Chain A
Amino acid sequence: MGLLYGLIAVGLALIFGLMDVTNFAHGEFLMLAMYVSFFLFAFFAIDPLLAAPLVAAAMFVFGAVIYLVVIRFAMRAKSNIGMVQIFTTFGLAILMRGLAQFFFTPDYRSITHSWLGGKTISLGGVYLPVPQLVGALVSIAAFGALYFFIKKTDFGRALEATREDAGAVALVGIDKNKVFALGWGLGGALVGLAGAIMAMFFYIYPDVGASFALIAYVTVALGGFGSVFGAFAGGIIVGLVEATTAMILPPSLKSVGIYAVYLLVVFIRPRGLFGSI
C-alpha cells in the first residue's frame, strides 16, 4: 500500500518540483484514471493490469491538455500567484467531481473479475493479496523507469534544466510550455498507472480521489517537495505508519498516525525529509 501511495504521490511531486505548482486536483486525476480502467473493463473486458499502459497513455494526454488549457494561464497571474494556483486547481477538482457525478452517477462500482482479484499467495506463512503485490512491483518498476528517464534522457535533462532556470532554458531554444506540458503529461501518466492498479481492489466513485489526495500531499511533503526519491520514501513511510496505527487505534483513526508523523517531521525539519526547496 505504501508503494502505491508513493506512486500516487510521485506524479504530484514531479509537477511540484517542475514548477512549484501543487495540483490540488490530483485526487480527481486518480479518480478519472480509475473510471477509465473501469470502463475499459466493462465495455471491452480488458483486465486492469493490461489496461494500465492504456490508462497511463490516456492520462498523459489528459495531464498535458489540462496544463495547456488551464494551468498555463494560472501561471501567468501577476498578483497572488500562490492563491491563484491553489484555487484554480481546487476549482478544477470540484468541477471534475461534478462531471464524474453527472456522467458516471454517484454509484459505487468495482471491477469484479479481474485476473488477480481476490487471490492471495503465501510467502513464508504471510498471506498477501496478489493485486496489492503486483501493484507494489509495478510501482517499483515505475519509480525505476522515472528515475532513469529524468537522469538519462534528453527530455529528462530539459525538465531538470527548466526547473532550475526557465529563462536561461528559453535562450537555448527549449520551449518552456512544451516541457511543462510534457511534465504534466508524465505526472498524469503516473497517477494513471496508480489508478489502473487501484481499480482492481477499490470501489470506484466520484469522491474516491478526495480520500487519497490528502495522503498524497502528505506523502509528497513528508519526503520533501521536488524530490522523486522523497516521494518514494514518503510513500513507504506512510504505508508503514498506517499499518502500525491500524494495529493500535480503531480503524477510523488510522489516518491520524500519518498526519501526526507528517507534523512531527515538518516541525523538526521544515523542508521534509529529502526536500531541497
Chain B
Amino acid sequence: MQNSFAQRRRRDLLVAGGLALLAALVPLVVKDVNVQNIMILTLLYAALSQAWNILGGYCGQISLGHALYFGLGAYTTTLLFTKFGVLPWFGMLGGGAISAAIALILGYPCFRLRGHYFVIATIVIAEIGLLLFHNWDWAGAALGIDVLVRKDSWATFQFTRSKLPYYYFALVFCCVAWLITFWLEDSKWGYWWRAVKDNPEAAESLGVVVFNSKMGAAAVSAFLTAIGGAFYAQYVSYIDPESVMSFQFSLLMALPAVLGGIGTLWGPVLGAAILIPLTELTRNYLGGSGRGVDLILYGSVIVLISLARPEGLIGLFSRKRKEVAR
C-alpha cells in the first residue's frame, strides 16, 4: 500500500511535468489571440481553484468568499502601482501577505462556525468587502482604476503587444499551485486537513490541532488566491469592485474543483480545462444575444454534473486510483 502510494505520486509528478511541457509548447502552434486568452484564463482558474481546493477540498471548509482575497490581491497591486509606482511584483507579494493576514484574522471567529453558518459568513464577509470598496473614493470607488501603461517589460509586468508573457506566467503560477498542493498532500498538514474534514471530533481527540490546521489552510489558500488576483489585474489592466470582488468570482473559483473532484490533485485542473473554455465559448457565441442562453447551458451543466458525478469528473477515469488512495 505504502509503495503504491509512492508510485502514484511519482506518476502524478511525471504526468504533471509532461502536461506542463506540452502546455509550454502550445503557443508555438496556436497563434489565435482569442484562443490564447481562453488558455490563459483556464490556467488562471485552474490555479485559483487549486488554491480554493486547499481550504475547501482538503480541509473541508467550504468558503464562498474567496473573491475577497482575489480582490485584495488585485487592489493591492494596482493601488501600489498607480499611486506609488511600486512594481507589481512587490504588490503581488504584498497583496498575498495582506490576504493571508486577513484570512487569519477572519479565521479566528469564523472557524468556530459550522456548515451553512460558515458558508454564509464567508459570503457575507466578501460582500462587505465589495460594498466597502464600492464606497472607497481613494481606491476609485465604483468606477474602478485603470492600470497605467508604462512600457512593455517584465519589470512592470505589462505587455501590450503579445499575450505570451502572460500565458507563461499563468502556466508557472498554475504549476506552482499544483506543486504546493502536491507537496502539502503528503505532508503532516495534508493528513491533518483530511482528518479535520472527515471527522473534526475524532481528529481533535487524536491530537490534531483542528483550529490551527484550518488557519494554515486558510492562509495558504488566501495567499495563492491573491497572487491570482494580482495577475488578473495586470492582465486586464482595469479593475473595479464588481469585476474582481463579486460573488460570481467566489463561485467561479470553487466550481472547477467541484466539477473536477474536490480534495483531489487533478480535480481543479480537469474542472478548469472543461469549464472555462465552455464558459468563454458559450459567452462568445451565445452570450451576445443578451438572452441568457449561456447561463442556461452553464446552469444545466452544473446541475447535471453535480447530480450525476458527485465525486467529480475525476471519478470517471481514476476508480482504481481512488481505491489506492483510501
Bound CA span A266–B128, Å:
16
The B interface, classified by DSSP as helix, strand, loop or mixed, is: helix
State how many angstroms separate the Cβ of A49 from the closest Cβ of chain B: 30
Stretch with Cβ within 8 A of A (4 or more), from B13-21, B78-86, B302-310 = B302-310
Stretch with Cβ within 8 A of B (4 or more), from A88-96, A126-134, A159-167, A195-203 = A88-96
Bound CA span A81–B306, Å:
10
Partner of B120, one of A102, A221, A260: A221
- List the A side residues contacting B109 at CB < 8 Å: 263, 267
Q: Which residue of A lies closest to B110 (CB)?
A: A267
| 8 A Cβ contacts from B98-134 to A | 109, 112-117, 119-121, 123-125, 127-128, 131-132, 134
State how many angstroms separate the Cβ of B100 from the closest Cβ of chain A: 20
Bound CA span A140–B252, Å:
39
> Are the CB atoms of B310 and A218 closer together than 8 Å?
no
> Are the CB atoms of A83 and B262 closer together than 8 Å?
yes
State how many angstroms separate the Cβ of B324 from the closest Cβ of chain A: 17
> Are the CB atoms of A102 and B293 closer together than 8 Å?
yes
> Are the CB atoms of B310 and A106 closer together than 8 Å?
no
Bound CA span A253–B135, Å:
8
B311 an interface residue at 8 Å Cβ cutoff?
yes
- List the B side residues contacting A153 at CB < 8 Å: none
| 8 A Cβ contacts from A260-277 to B | 260, 262-263, 266-267, 270-272
| 8 A Cβ contacts from A78-110 to B | 78-84, 86-88, 90-102, 105-106
Bound CA span A225–B116, Å:
9
State how many angstroms separate the Cβ of B194 from the closest Cβ of chain A: 13
Per-position contact with B for A36-78: 1 when CB-CB < 8 Å, else 0? 0000000000000000000000000000000000100110011
Per-position contact with A for B129-164: 1 when CB-CB < 8 Å, else 0? 001101100000000000000000000000000000
State how many angstroms separate the Cβ of A58 from the closest Cβ of chain B: 21
State how many angstroms separate the Cβ of B307 from the closest Cβ of chain A: 5
B288 an interface residue at 8 Å Cβ cutoff?
no
A250 an interface residue at 8 Å Cβ cutoff?
yes
Partner of A87, one of B120, B131, B306: B306
Bound CA span A105–B292, Å:
9
> Are the CB atoms of A100 and B292 closer together than 8 Å?
yes
Bound CA span A80–B112, Å:
21
- List the B side residues contacting A96 at CB < 8 Å: 299
Given contacts A83-B62, A101-B290, A263-B121, contact A90 B302 (CB under 8 A): yes
B298 an interface residue at 8 Å Cβ cutoff?
yes
- List the A side residues contacting B132 at CB < 8 Å: 253, 256
- List the B side residues contacting A209 at CB < 8 Å: none
> Are the CB atoms of A79 and B311 closer together than 8 Å?
yes
Q: Which residue of A lies closest to B258 (CB)?
A: A87
State how many angstroms separate the Cβ of B196 from the closest Cβ of chain A: 15
A35 an interface residue at 8 Å Cβ cutoff?
no
> Are the CB atoms of A95 and B290 closer together than 8 Å?
no
Partner of B310, one of A16, A81, A102: A81
Known interface pairs A100-B292, A221-B116; 20 further A-B residue pairs with C-beta atoms within 8 A, sorted by A's residue number = A74-B306, A74-B307, A83-B310, A88-B302, A88-B306, A91-B302, A92-B303, A94-B298, A96-B299, A97-B292, A102-B292, A206-B292, A217-B120, A218-B120, A221-B117, A225-B116, A256-B132, A259-B128, A266-B117, A270-B112
30 A-B residue pairs with CB within 8 Å: A22-B116, A70-B307, A74-B307, A80-B262, A80-B311, A86-B119, A91-B302, A93-B299, A94-B299, A94-B302, A95-B296, A95-B303, A98-B292, A101-B290, A101-B292, A101-B295, A102-B291, A106-B290, A214-B123, A218-B120, A218-B124, A221-B117, A221-B120, A252-B134, A253-B135, A256-B131, A256-B132, A259-B125, A270-B117, A271-B117
Which residues of A does B touch, CB under 8 Å? 16, 22, 70, 73-74, 77-84, 86-88, 90-102, 105-106, 206, 214, 217-218, 221, 225, 250, 252-253, 255-256, 259-260, 262-263, 266-267, 270-272
